[in-house]
């Protein structure tokens, strides 16, 4: 793995905007405004990509085993899942409700091993950048340099294949499937619209609705035309969904929902100590615990629920460093071994390895001058060269 300088396209902003990528630049005070950075790329060998792909597949199987372990032993309280919703989670798992996607955040250690930092199993973003934007960048790069290269990227194809199963499981003929996010969230909207577009290409009657516009008629959720919503993809965290005013209606199971309720087990960081208990010393895992005693004075503290690196702290010799504070500390914490991550030209990359329909599907890389990536980190494309 190597970080290389590459010439950015002169009209790159226009190129990515033509794809529908309109948040390529961050407008936020005096911070570095670049989100999409094509002045650099990460170069991999085929062997390195195969390692990432195989590790992702292994980690996903372990995560599913972790869900089964939690359900079988009713360990919901360890994951801060409200008692009222534990039965919903159990039924969802026992039915094998369909999951669509997730993103493992991975790191290479100095020995070249793939290590799981966490699993964004419920509401991962950066999907559109990983699937579409960096692929078109690669095509432009190959044309400009008259070379044939590759990229770990079958996200689009695997989404299309997974939607066939969604149709078989949940939809009958032209039954609509709704795709929902909150209003005024550009990144979430782009992710949802991309997922909806692939669904349309897959023959699904896919409709968009904002979560604020979802109604309740006493029996089921409805759209703005008072039509029942029977199947929905929602880009909104389960742990927040159950706390909403309408959260109790979910217990009536009025719709088929993706991601499913069993993702409550995987969408919080309390699964990490459970995985370590199930698979101690596994080469793809970092030691993780519900207290810091075994880790001494240097470790990483993570909230059970958090987003975009918020409130994750590195404690070195008892001194705390937390670059992104967004008030996620109320959920409790888990503690993970600190992994010194290699810097490339002053940046720390995190490998976002996508799992689509249970299969490793592609790679998106975010990098930051901090060791903990946040919502202002750069997205950098990658390529494979042997």
Digit-by-digit pLDDT tens for the chain (386 residues) are: 999 999 999 999 999 999 999 889 876 544 456 899 999 999 999 999 999 999 999 999 999 999 999 999 999 999 999 999 999 999 999 999 999 999 999 998 777 789 999 999 999 999 999 999 999 999 999 999 999 999 999 999 999 999 999 999 999 888 999 999 999 999 999 999 999 999 999 999 999 999 999 999 999 999 999 999 999 999 999 999 999 888 999 999 999 999 999 999 998 999 999 999 999 999 999 999 999 999 999 999 999 987 676 788 889 998 887 766 656 666 789 999 999 888 999 999 999 999 999 999 999 999 998 888 877 789 999 999 98
Classify strands 101-108 and 40-44 as parallel, antiparallel or unpaired.
unpaired
CB 344, CB 95: distance < 8 Å: no
Is 136 among the domain residues? yes
The per-residue pLDDT for 309 is 67
Q: Is 383 exposed, middle or buried (0-12, 13-18, 19+ CB in 10 A)?
A: buried
> 313 and 379 share a domain?
no
Is 223 among the domain residues? yes
> 254 and 363 share a domain?
yes
Is 276 among the domain residues? no
Is 254 among the domain residues? yes
pTM, full prediction: 0.95
> 214 and 114 share a domain?
yes
Is 279 among the domain residues? no
Q: How far apart are CA 116 and CA 124, in angstroms?
A: 15
The per-residue pLDDT for 27 is 61
> 184 and 110 share a domain?
yes
> 306 and 263 share a domain?
no
> 225 and 354 share a domain?
yes
> 176 and 320 share a domain?
no
> 68 and 201 share a domain?
yes
HSE (side-chain half, CA atoms, 13 Å) at 263:
27
> 261 and 329 share a domain?
no
The per-residue pLDDT for 329 is 65
The per-residue pLDDT for 239 is 92
Sheet holding 288-289, edge to edge: 288-289, 333-336, 299-303, 313-316, 319-321
> 330 and 346 share a domain?
no
> 245 and 259 share a domain?
yes
Number of structural domains in the chain:
2
Is 283 among the domain residues? no
The per-residue pLDDT for 26 is 72
What is the maximum alpha-carbon separation in the chain? Answer: 61
Domain that holds residue 110: 2-268+342-384
């Amino acid at each position: 793995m190597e970080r290389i300088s590459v010439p950015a396209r002169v009209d790159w902003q226009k190129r990515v905007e033509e794809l529908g990528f309109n948040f390529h630049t961050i407008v936020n005070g005096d911070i570095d405004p670049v989100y999409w950075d094509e002045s650099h790329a990460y170069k991999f060998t085929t062997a390195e990509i195969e390692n990432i792909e195989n590790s992702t597949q292994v980690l996903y199987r372990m995560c599913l085993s972790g869900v089964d372990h939690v359900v079988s032993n009713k360990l919901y309280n360890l994951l801060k899942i409200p008692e009222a919703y534990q039965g919903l989670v159990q039924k969802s798992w026992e039915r094998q409700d369909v999951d669509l996607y997730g993103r493992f955040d991975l790191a290479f250690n100095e020995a070249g091993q793939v290590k799981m930092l966490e699993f964004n199993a419920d509401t991962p973003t950066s999907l559109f950048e990983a699937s579409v934007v960096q692929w078109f960048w690669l095509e432009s790069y190959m044309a400009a340099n008259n070379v044939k290269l590759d990229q770990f990227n079958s996200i689009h194809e695997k989404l299309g294949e997974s939607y066939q199963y969604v149709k078989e499981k949940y939809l009958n003929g032209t039954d609509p499937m709704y795709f929902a996010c909150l209003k005024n969230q550009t990144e979430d909207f782009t992710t949802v619209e991309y997922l909806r577009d692939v669904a349309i290409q897959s023959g699904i009657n896919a409709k968009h609705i904002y979560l604020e516009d979802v109604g309740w008629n006493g029996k089921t959720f409805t759209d703005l035309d008072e039509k029942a919503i029977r199947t929905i993809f929602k880009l909104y965290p389960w742990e927040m969904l159950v706390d909403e005013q309408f959260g109790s209606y979910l217990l009536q199971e009025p719709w088929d929902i993706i991601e499913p309720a069993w993702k409550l087990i995987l969408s919080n960081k309390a699964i990490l100590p459970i995985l370590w208990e199930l698979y101690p010393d596994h080469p793809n895992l970092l030691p993780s615990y519900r207290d810091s005693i075994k880790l001494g004075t240097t470790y990483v503290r993570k909230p059970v629920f958090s987003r975009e690196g918020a409130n994750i702290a590195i404690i070195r010799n008892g001194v705390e460093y937390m670059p992104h504070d967004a008030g996620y500390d109320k959920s409790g914490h888990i503690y993970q071994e600190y992994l010194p991550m290699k810097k490339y030209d002053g940046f720390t990359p995190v490998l976002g390895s996508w799992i689509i329909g249970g299969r490793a599907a592609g790679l998106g890389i975010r990098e930051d001058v901090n060791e903990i990536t946040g919502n202002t980190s750069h997205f950098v494309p990658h390529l494979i060269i042997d």
